[in-house]
Amino acid sequence: MDANGFLLKADGIRAGYGKLEILHGVSLEVRSREIVSVIGPNGAGKSTAFKTIVGLLHPRSGRVLFDGKDITGLPPYEVVRLGLVYVPQGRIVFPQMTVLENLEMGAYVETDPGRVKEALTRVSALFPILEQRKRQLAGSLSGGEQQMVAIGRALMTTPKLILLDEPSLGLSPKFVTLIFEKLQEMQQAGYTMMVVEQNAAKALSVADRGYVLELGQNRFEGTGQTLLNDPEVKRLYLGG
Ligand SMILES: Nc1ncnc2c1ncn2[C@@H]1O[C@H](COP(=O)(O)OP(=O)(O)O)[C@@H](O)[C@H]1O
Ligand SMILES: [Mg+2]
């Protein structure tokens, strides 16, 4: 953490694809042990912001500070090594590998077999269903279970911060509820998370703080409760 208490500080990020600038100076901060939710309409640049933070895109300007280090422009594998992991949109698993193999893949930066075992024990405690299904092919699981595999795989590196992009997207209502419960359990277990969600009301209700992005810019920010009760946020983003 830096002197101001932030584990992550993305400051004035401009980034995009080719000549097209999508983010026009986005700033996001995460403190240790927080859940921070990022909401906003489709195309606002939420995924682009996450991709830039984890090094998949290079910002044109602005900087990303993580755990007291400037990680701006570092390649993704170095960012992972520093303890910042990214669970992309679309619950991507290796369908032809077992649940256990998928989880072990997550520990690829870990060379100590003892620590891999420890990580597996922690992930199994958080997701008992994965322990029960560890010999099954990941492709045979339900969408919600696959999302748990994707999250569990990210936890295998014992990260300091987890960025989750739309973890509840496309899941049945039962699994949507379960995923949000899991995020809260993860927080109780000591993890720190920043979550992009289209399910804005649920995301803000579990969040310590939240951001609303729109058209590649910061639009609103505040505690989860403040944003949930803000009449403009309600009207524009919470359908009420
Ligand atoms: N790989 C890409 N190449 C070009 N444009 C992209 C690419 N990915 C996203 N975009 C564009 O960037 C904008 C923001 O997208 P994105 O960050 O995915 O938004 P969000 O996650 O908030 O829905 C959109 O206009 C989208 O079409
Ligand atoms: Mg997105």
* Per-position DSSP letters for 38-60, written without gaps between them: EE--TTSSHHHHHHHHTTSS--S
Which ligand 1 atom lies nearest to the CA of residue 42? 23
Q: Describe the crossing of helices 143-155 and 113-126 by its angle, rounded to 10 degrees.
A: 140
Query: In this structure, which ligand is nearest to the CA of 166?
Result: 2
State the residue range of the domain holding 34.
Answer: 6-237
* Rounded-to-integer distance, Cα 159 and Cα 106, Å: 11
Q: Is 48 in the pocket of ligand 1 (CB under 6 A)?
A: yes
| CATH code, domain carrying 65 | 3.40.50.300
Q: Is 47 in the pocket of ligand 1 (CB under 6 A)?
A: yes
Alpha carbon of residue 98 to chain centroid: 23
Place of tokens 């919470």: 238
Token pair for 177 = 């509820």
* Ligand 2 (single-atom ion) residues, CB below 5 Å: 46-47
Query: In this structure, which ligand is nearest to the CA of 44?
Result: 1
* Rounded-to-integer distance, Cα 153 and Cα 106, Å: 5
The alpha carbon of 99 and the centre of ligand 2 are apart by a number of angstroms equal to 26
Q: How many domains does the chain have?
A: 1
Nearest protein Cα to ligand 1, atom 17:
45
- Are 72 and 57 in contact by the 8 Å Cβ rule? The answer is no
The alpha carbon of 198 and the centre of ligand 2 are apart by a number of angstroms equal to 9
Residue 197: predicted pLDDT? 96
Over the chain (240 residues), what is each successive 10-residue block's mean pLDDT? Answer: 78 96 98 98 97 97 97 95 94 94 88 89 95 96 95 95 96 94 96 97 97 98 97 89
The alpha carbon of 55 and the centre of ligand 1 are apart by a number of angstroms equal to 16
Residue 11: predicted pLDDT? 98
- Whether residue 87 is contained in a domain is answered as yes
Which DSSP letter does residue 94 get? Answer: -
Residue 240: predicted pLDDT? 65
Residue 4: predicted pLDDT? 63
- Whether residue 1 is contained in a domain is answered as no
- Whether residue 186 is contained in a domain is answered as yes
Closest CA to 27 of 56, 65, 82: 65
The alpha carbon of 17 and the centre of ligand 2 are apart by a number of angstroms equal to 14
Number of H helices and number of E strands within the chain?
10, 10
Token pair for 174 = 């039962």
Sign of the C-alpha dihedral, residues 94, 38, 176, 41? negative
